[in-house]
């Protein structure tokens, strides 16, 4: 519920891995936030699967793909990293250069950054 409330306050926007752009792509990242002062953020990493003529991104990568977004891609300015938690599994980790996940076609991960660490 906290993630949904956060996204209602800080709407999600696309920030493509590798560019930070917003054009349609098979591998995407979305971010809500961060809170003012560089606080918490909510991030989705997604592998939409091959285009098949309807996605508008024209790629045909099949199977599991590494989806990685740097802090710069996500529009975050941090001197260190973030402590992040997978909203669906509860797993926690410290992410220093950005976020990444191995995702199958049609799979995504929802990550919540709890705090910045240096």
Residue appearing with tokens 């997604």:
46
Q: Which two tokens stand for residue 112?
A: 């919540």
Torsions phi, psi of 70, nearest 5?
-75, 165
Report how far residue 41's alpha carbon sits from residue 59's, in angstroms, rounded to the nearest whole number. Answer: 29
CATH of 3-117, one of 2.60.40.1180, 3.90.950.20, 3.40.190.80, 2.40.40.20: 2.60.40.1180
Confidence at residue 69, expressed as pLDDT on a 0 to 100 scale: 92
The structural domains of the chain, with segments of one domain joined by +, span: 3-117
- Residues 19-63 pLDDT 10s: 888 888 889 999 998 888 767 899 999 999 887 776 667 777 788
The answer, yes or no, to whether residue 118 has pLDDT greater than 60, is no
Report in angstroms the alpha-carbon separations of 53 from 26, 50, 91: 12, 9, 35
- Average predicted confidence (pLDDT) for the chain: 85
Would you say 34 and 4 are in contact if contact means Cβ atoms under 8 Å apart? no
Question: Whole-prediction pTM value?
Answer: 0.86
- 32 forms bridges with which residues in the sheet? 42
Give the residue, 37 or 116, on which the prediction is more confident.
37
Report in angstroms the alpha-carbon separations of 82 from 2, 40, 45, 62, 102: 18, 9, 16, 30, 19
């Amino acid at each position: 519920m906290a993630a949904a409330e956060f996204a209602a306050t800080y709407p999600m926007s696309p920030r493509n891995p590798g560019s930070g752009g917003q054009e349609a792509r098979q591998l995407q990242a979305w971010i809500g936030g961060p809170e003012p002062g560089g606080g918490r953020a909510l991030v989705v990493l997604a592998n939409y699967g091959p285009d098949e003529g309807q996605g508008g991104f024209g790629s045909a990568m099949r199977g599991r793909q590494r989806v990685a977004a740097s802090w710069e891609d996500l529009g975050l300015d941090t001197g260190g990293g973030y402590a992040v938690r997978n909203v669906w599994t509860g797993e926690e980790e410290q992410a220093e250069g950005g976020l990444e996940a191995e995702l199958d076609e049609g799979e995504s991960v929802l990550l919540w950054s709890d705090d910045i660490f240096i």
